[in-house]
Copies of this chain bind each other. A is one copy, B any other.
Amino acid sequence: MRICVINPNTAAAMTDVIAAAARSVARPDCEIVAVTSTMGPESIESHYDEALAVPGLLRAINDHPGCDGYLIACFGDPGLDAAREIADAPVLGIAEAAMHLAAPLGRRFSIVTTLDRTIGRAIDLVDHYGFAGHCGGVHACDIPVLELETNPATADILEKSCAAALSTDDSDAIVLGCAGMADLAHRIGAAIGAPVIDGVAAGVGMLTAMAAIGVHTGTASGEFRRPPRKRYSGPLRDFEIT
């Protein structure tokens, strides 16, 4: 079994964190293929970054055919529906996976993300996936994505943010709102005494389940069939489907 985990930004150090988190939960017979996007922003902290990370994500999927599942390792789940149209196997975003796994762990979960400007996107995803009744709130820890790994205070700040979120929202579980936090899930969970879900691990788990069952994205309604062929031009002309 092979799961392809794609970091849709270009920061290779973050891919290492993501890959480690993925491998820590993969079943013995599962290979993790960790991929860094080759184009676009080096971190994703705005709708603008997110939109411009999608071409690189789609290219990464195209460049790694034959996997049993694809995981988009950015909490905005950029390009998820487009990825489903072109991938040969199920595709999950880490926000989606984290929420699916966190919901059954209690009455409600809280999300703790990076900058407060990303809260809106998280709320949109909560609504879209159906978790409005299960998410107690979305909170920011105010650490930029690329500082997560370099700021020595990250773990402490994030731990405090998670504890506060749990209490403010009267929640039972925490969802970490950035792939760059993946390495901190266990430490924070132990510190606050509550389940802490990192979407990378959650996504590998859910994709593994789908692969073991042997299911693919459904195409009966037509929405997720392979896109119609047409002319592409300009710097994105290579994205033309052949």
- Which A residues have a C-beta under 8 Å from some C-beta of B? 10, 25-29, 38-43, 45-52, 54-56, 58, 79, 81-82, 84-86, 90-92, 96, 100-101, 103-108, 115-121, 123-124, 127-134, 144, 146, 166-167, 170-173, 185-186, 189, 193-198, 201-202, 204-206, 208-210, 212-225, 227-228, 230-237, 239, 241
Contact = CB atoms under 8 A, between A and B. Distances in A.
B107 A230 contact: no
B172 A223 contact: yes
B106 A46 contact: no
| Stoichiometry, copies per complex | 6
Contacts of A42: 230-233
Given A52-B55, A105-B90, A210-B205, A41 B127 contact: no
Counting chain B CB atoms within 10 Å of each CB, which of A92, A121, A216 scores highest?
A216
A218 B194 contact: yes
Contacts of A239: 40, 52
Contact of A218 (B38, B85, B92, B195): B195
A92 B205 CA distance: 15
B193 A202 contact: no
Nearest to A117: B222
Contacts of A79: 51
A215 B230 contact: no
Contact of A28 (B29, B134, B232): B29
Contact of A40 (B133, B144, B232): B232
B208 A206 contact: no
A227 B130 contact: no
B217 A105 contact: yes
Contacts of A132: 130
A132 to B, nearest CB: 7
Contact of A224 (B106, B215, B234): B106
B55 A51 contact: yes
Given A27-B29, A39-B236, A235-B236, A208 B210 contact: no
Given A25-B209, A45-B227, 14 more contacts: A27-B27, A46-B228, A47-B85, A48-B82, A51-B58, A52-B232, A55-B55, A55-B235, A81-B120, A108-B221, A127-B133, A172-B219, A198-B213, A205-B210
